[in-house]
């Protein structure tokens, strides 16, 4: 079956930053989830999902992928010139009221479209690609994955670098961790909708307790198993986080047995640096707290073992937050691919 285009009359909204579509079939990548968004008027509304639509201008040949909200209750779909600039990198996207719209894409190609006026409002006929051919779908996957190198604007760089924070991306650009990154990074003007979906968990709470201890006195430990074997044959990771400074230490391991040798070496190193470790906090899982060898090692080293109790791993948050960061990044990348 060949892929087809569907022409939709979209309302031109000069203040919107994201497209809003009323037809779910127009999405190429889609994630169904209720979420609130800010309208151009300043009010808030609820969308039924978020995805990427493939559009082109009437008579044109270039296909532009752009994020869009799914809002079936809206009276009509909304065209956003701000999204073309913000997500794709259009140089010009403006409209002369009740007349025509002018667009210039990142390669400098200019397009002029006459608007359809209805009740003194401007509407644009936009063609949305509905890909059903597998070869076209595979080629589009490559195009979507390489957008960040073709159009290096803030949003695409943010998506390419696994939806990291603005501070981290700015540091990576300044230090040129990847050769094709710009040297300067402009922060996102609006929150990334994918980050909101994947990283929003609950209302932030204050700290459980203050830690008025010297660095190195209290250490949070966690031992995590992987479902997949890494390229270097690692199946687990042992993490140690200082409770006072939140400084992390990570040790990939090839065995799921308690990392006795690694922990013994670590304690000897920090004691050689003049630190005085006293408290060791772990969760109630069987990896460490219920390991006979690990408990004997704690006693041998003269340390005090603190456990969080059952189903309370959040009390070991200093160590768990590292895993949450990785999970949020992976979840955001999967969301970007509609998985």
Does 203 score more than 50 pLDDT? no
User: What is the pLDDT at residue 274?
Assistant: 93
Whether residue 94 is found in the same domain as residue 119: yes
Does 201 score more than 70 pLDDT? no
Does 144 score more than 70 pLDDT? no
Q: How sure is the predictor about 151, in pLDDT bands with cuts at 50, 70 and 90?
A: very low
Boundary residue ending a domain (76, 106, 134): 134
The CATH code of the domain that includes 243 is 3.30.420.10
User: Is 333 inside any structural domain?
Assistant: no
pTM confidence score: 0.48
Whether residue 9 is found in the same domain as residue 128: yes
Does 210 score more than 60 pLDDT? no
- Dihedral sign from CA coordinates of 166, 49, 130, 331: positive
Residue-range definition of the domain harbouring residue 32: 4-134
Q: Which region among 39-53, 134-148, 210-224, 280-294 has the lowest average model confidence (pLDDT)? A: 134-148
The tens digit of pLDDT for each residue in 58-96 reads 888 888 877 788 899 888 898 888 888 877 778 898 888
User: What is the pLDDT at residue 314?
Assistant: 64
The tens digit of pLDDT for each residue in 243-296 reads 888 888 989 999 888 899 999 999 999 999 999 999 998 887 778 888 899 999
Distance CA 316, CA 246 (A): 12
The CATH code of the domain that includes 55 is 2.40.70
Sheet holding 92-96, edge to edge: 92-96, 100-104, 110-114
User: Is 139 inside any structural domain?
Assistant: no
């Amino acid at each position: 079956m060949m892929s087809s285009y569907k022409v939709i009359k979209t309302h031109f909204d000069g203040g919107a930053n994201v497209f809003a579509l009323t037809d779910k079939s127009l999405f190429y990548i889609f994630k169904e989830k209720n979420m609130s968004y800010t309208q151009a008027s300043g009010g808030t509304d609820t969308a039924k999902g978020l995805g990427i639509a493939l559009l082109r201008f009437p008579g044109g040949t270039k296909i532009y992928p752009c994020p869009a909200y799914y809002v079936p209750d809206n009276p009509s779909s909304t065209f956003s010139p701000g999204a073309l600039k913000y997500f794709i990198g259009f140089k010009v996207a403006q409209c002369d009221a009740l007349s025509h719209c002018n667009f210039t894409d990142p390669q400098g190609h200019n397009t002029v479209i006459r608007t359809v006026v209805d009740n003194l409002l401007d509407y644009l006929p936009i063609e949305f690609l509905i890909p059903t051919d597998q070869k076209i779908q595979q080629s589009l996957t490559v195009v979507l994955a390489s957008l960040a190198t073709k159009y290096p604007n803030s949003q695409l760089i943010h998506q390419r670098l696994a939806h990291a924070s603005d501070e981290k991306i700015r540091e990576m650009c300044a230090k040129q961790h990847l050769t094709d990154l710009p040297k300067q990074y402009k922060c996102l003007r609006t929150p990334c909708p994918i980050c909101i979906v994947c990283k929003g968990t609950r209302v932030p709470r204050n700290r459980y307790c203050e830690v008025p201890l010297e660095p190195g006195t209290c250490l949070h430990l966690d031992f995590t198993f992987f479902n997949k074997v890494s390229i270097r044959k690692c199946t687990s990771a042992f993490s140690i986080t200082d409770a006072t400074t939140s400084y992390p230490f990570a040790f990939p391991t090839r065995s799921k047995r308690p990392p006795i040798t690694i922990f013994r070496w670590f304690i000897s190193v920090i004691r050689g640096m003049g630190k005085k470790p006293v408290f060791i906090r772990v969760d109630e899982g069987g990896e460490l707290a219920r390991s006979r060898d690990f408990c004997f090692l704690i006693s041998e080293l003269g340390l005090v073992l603190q456990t969080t109790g059952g189903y309370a791993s959040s009390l070991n948050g200093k160590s768990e937050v590292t895993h949450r960061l990785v999970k949020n990044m992976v979840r955001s990348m999967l969301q970007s691919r509609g998985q």
